[in-house]
Amino acid sequence: MTYRNWTYIAFSWNNTTDPTKSDIKYFNMIKWWNSMKGKDFSFNNSHEKTYQVRDTSHISTLKNRLSERLSKSKHLLLIITDLSIYNKWMLNWEIEKAVDNYKLPIIIVYPWDNYILAPNKLEHLWPSSLKIRINNWDAKCIHIPFKEIVISSALNQFSIHDEQISTSLNYYTKETYINWGLI
């Protein structure tokens, strides 16, 4: 049995390498935080652990690589923006595999707020596969803002090995955000 200790990060790349037209800028920021020495922010990036895939890779190769990464991951960090609402087949596929096949808890990150206290109000942004799995309670999720301290806490707290997320609409309390200095 494989020990699952990686973090799988999914986002809408919008079929472009231009960071201003995709969510890769958020992925790159998380990787930068992870690269900074002396910080408490640390994770094993699944995208750096297997063979790389190219934009020109055959779809079966891409799915095989991503499946391998998901199978060795302990959670899914999902970046949700206004680009995510479109029915992106690969993002939907990643969510389906993470929940249905690998039972990964999902840490859903929204880049524009300091706190999330009513995740159900963000439903209009969810890709179809996420919306279905949240509404039928199959996905175990925590909804958080794109803040280093919050992401770090969630990565350290929620995984297939540690504290389990119990429902689809979890979020940190207002008091927690106040303690972090975000409210």
Is 1 within a domain?
no
110 φ, ψ (degrees, to nearest 5): -115, 120
Read off the pLDDT of residues 53-108 as tens digits, 9 standing for 90 and up: 555 557 777 787 888 888 888 889 999 998 777 657 788 999 999 999 999 999 99
| Residue from 150, 162, 99, 166 nearest 126 by CA | 99
Position 35 in a domain: yes
Give the CATH number of the domain where residue 31 resides: 3.40.50.11200
Position 48 in a domain: yes
Q: Can you read off the two tokens belonging to residue 91?
A: 């993002």
Residue 50 maps to a domain: yes
**Is the pLDDT higher at 32 or at 173?**
173
| Residue 117 counted as domain residue | yes
Q: Name the residue with higher pLDDT: 179 or 45.
A: 179
- What angle do the packed helices 89-96 and 128-135 form, to 10 degrees? 30
- Assigned domain for 70 exists: yes
Residue 128: inside a domain, yes or no? yes
DSSP 90-138: HHHHHHHIIIIIT---EEEEETT-S--S-GGGGGGGS-HHHHHHHHTT-
Q: 126-157 pLDDT, tens per residue?
A: 999 999 999 999 999 999 999 989 999 998 88
Residue at 131 is within a domain: yes
Number of structural domains in the chain: 1
Residue 150's domain spans which residues?
Answer: 6-179
Q: How confident is the model at residue 100, as a pLDDT?
A: 97
